[in-house]
C-alpha cells in the first residue's frame, strides 16, 4: 500500500493523536502517504449529558467504524479509555501504542489538591469513576457534570464555573498543557480508567495489509496492561455506565520474568459502596488476570453495586 487514510474525531486532542500515529507510520514505512479524515461523532455533539445517559463510549467510535466499513478510511486512532470493551464483529485492535502517563490530573487556579478544597467547593468531571472516588474520600465536595473537549473544559474552569476539574494527564501532556496541572493523582488516590493514557489503532480484521503496516507501532508491555484492564471492564459489563477503574503495571525484571500487577474497583456513584481487588500474575496471560480480579470484585458484591 502507498496510502493510508486515518479516520479521527475533530477535537484538537484527537487530531494530535491521529497526526502522531501518521508520523510514526511514515517513519516506519518509507514512501507511505498518510491522510486524515476528520469526523464529528455523536459523542462529540452530545455535550450536555453524561455518556452513560446518552448511549455510552460507542458514541465516539461508530462514525469512524462506518468510514472504515465503507472504504473511506483504512484505520482509526482512539484513546483506549474511550473504546468499548467489545469491538463490533469484523474489527480488530491492530496495535496499542506505548502508554503516556495514565494518571488523572487535578486542575485548579485556587487550590493545589482535592484535600485542599473546602466543603461545598465544586469539582467538574463527566466520569462516574472519578465522581465516585472523589466523593468517597472528600464527601463535602460538590461534583458537577463537565463535558466537552479539553479546551472547552479548561475554558469553563477559567470562567469560574468550577473551582477545580479533573482530566486525564495524558491528554494535557499531548497538547502541551502540562503547566495547567496542579497535581497528578496517584493510583492510590484515584485509580485510572481501563486503557487510560494509551492509544489504540483499529482497522477491519480482514485488511491484513493494513494490520501489517500498523504492527511496528505496537508496544507489548502497554498492550498487556491494557488487555488486563479491559478484561475487567468486559467481565463486568464493559460500559462507561460503570463507576469502574482498573490499572495494571508491569513489575519484576527480566531475570525472573515479567509479571503484571492489576488493581481494580467498582463503586456506587455516591462513593458509599466501594469494592477493590489487587492481584499479580504472569504477564503472558493478562486476560486470565483480568478475569480473576473481576471475579474477586463479584465475590465482594460488585453486581449488587452495579444494580444487577
How confident is the model over 212-266, as pLDDT tens digits? 999 999 999 999 999 999 999 999 985 556 789 999 999 876 545 689 999 999 9
Residues of the chain with CATH 3.30.160.40: 225-299
**44-66 pLDDT per residue, tens:** 545 555 444 444 455 678 899 99
Q: What are phi and psi of 302, to 5 degrees?
A: -60, -40
Give the separation between CA 308 and CA 303, rounded to whole angstroms.
Answer: 5
Quick one: pLDDT band at residue 40, thresholds 50, 70, 90? confident
- Count of other CB atoms within 10 angstroms of residue 70: 8
Which residues are marked as active site? 82
Burial (0-12, 13-18, 19+ Cβ within 10 Å), 140: exposed
Topology adopted by domain 3-98+197-218: D-Maltodextrin-Binding Protein; domain 2 (3.40.190)
pLDDT of residue 125: 95
Quick check: helix, strand or coil at residue 51? Answer: helix
pLDDT of residue 58: 55
Architecture of domain 104-185: 3-Layer(aba) Sandwich (3.40)
Give the separation between CA 91 and CA 181, rounded to whole angstroms.
Answer: 36
The sheet with strand 183-185 has its strands ordered as 142-145, 122-125, 164-168, 104-107, 183-185
Residue 253 to residues 37, 259, 292: CA-CA distances in angstroms? 42, 8, 23
| DSSP character at residue 129 | H
The string of DSSP codes covering 190-206 is SPPPTTTT-EEEEEETT
**169-215 pLDDT per residue, tens:** 999 999 999 999 999 999 999 999 999 999 999 999 999 999 999 99
Residues of the chain with CATH 3.40.190.10: 3-98+197-218, 104-185
Quick one: pLDDT band at residue 42, thresholds 50, 70, 90? low
pLDDT of residue 308: 64
pLDDT of residue 178: 97
Residue 300 to residues 254, 265, 276, 297: CA-CA distances in angstroms? 34, 10, 8, 5
Q: 225-299: which CATH number, 3.40.50.300, 3.30.160.40, 3.30.70.2190, 3.30.499.10?
A: 3.30.160.40
Helix (H) or strand (E) holding 169: helix 169-174
Percentage of the chain surpassing pLDDT 90?
81
pLDDT of residue 238: 59
Written as nine digits, the cell of 44 is 462529540
Amino acid at each position: 500500500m502507498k496510502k493510508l487514510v486515518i479516520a479521527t474525531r475533530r477535537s484538537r486532542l484527537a487530531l494530535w493523536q491521529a497526526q502522531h500515529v501518521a508520523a510514526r507510520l511514515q517513519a516506519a514505512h518509507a514512501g507511505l502517504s498518510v491522510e486524515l479524515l476528520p469526523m464529528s461523532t455523536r459523542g462529540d455533539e452530545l455535550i450536555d449529558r453524561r455518556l452513560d445517559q446518552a448511549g455510552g463510549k460507542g458514541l465516539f467510535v461508530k462514525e469512524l467504524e462506518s468510514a472504515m466499513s465503507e472504504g473511506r478510511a483504512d484505520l482509526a486512532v482512539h484513546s483506549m479509555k474511550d473504546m468499548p470493551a467489545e469491538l463490533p464483529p469484523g474489527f480488530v485492535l491492530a496495535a496499542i501504542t506505548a502508554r503516556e502517563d495514565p494518571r488523572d490530573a487535578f486542575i485548579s487556579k485556587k487550590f493545589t489538591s482535592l484535600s485542599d478544597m473546602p466543603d461545598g467547593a465544586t469539582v467538574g468531571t463527566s466520569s462516574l469513576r472519578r465522581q465516585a472516588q472523589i466523593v468517597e474520600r472528600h464527601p463535602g465536595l460538590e461534583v458537577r457534570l463537565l463535558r466537552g473537549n479539553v479546551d472547552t473544559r479548561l475554558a469553563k474552569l477559567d470562567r469560574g464555573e468550577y473551582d477545580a476539574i479533573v482530566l486525564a494527564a495524558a491528554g494535557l501532556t499531548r497538547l502541551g498543557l502540562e503547566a495547567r496541572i496542579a497535581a497528578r493523582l496517584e493510583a492510590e488516590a484515584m485509580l485510572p480508567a481501563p486503557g487510560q493514557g494509551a492509544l489504540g489503532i483499529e482497522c477491519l480484521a480482514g485488511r491484513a495489509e493494513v494490520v501489517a503496516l500498523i504492527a511496528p507501532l505496537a508496544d507489548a508491555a502497554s498492550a498487556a496492561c491494557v488487555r488486563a484492564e479491559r478484561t475487567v471492564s468486559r467481565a463486568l459489563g464493559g460500559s462507561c455506565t460503570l463507576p469502574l477503574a482498573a490499572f495494571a503495571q508491569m513489575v519484576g525484571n527480566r531475570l525472573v520474568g515479567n509479571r503484571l500487577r492489576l488493581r481494580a474497583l467498582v463503586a456506587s456513584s455516591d462513593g458509599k459502596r466501594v469494592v477493590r481487588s489487587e492481584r499479580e500474575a504472569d504477564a503472558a496471560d493478562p486476560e486470565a488476570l483480568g478475569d480473576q480480579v473481576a471475579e474477586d470484585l463479584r465475590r465482594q458484591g460488585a453486581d449488587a453495586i452495579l444494580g444487577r
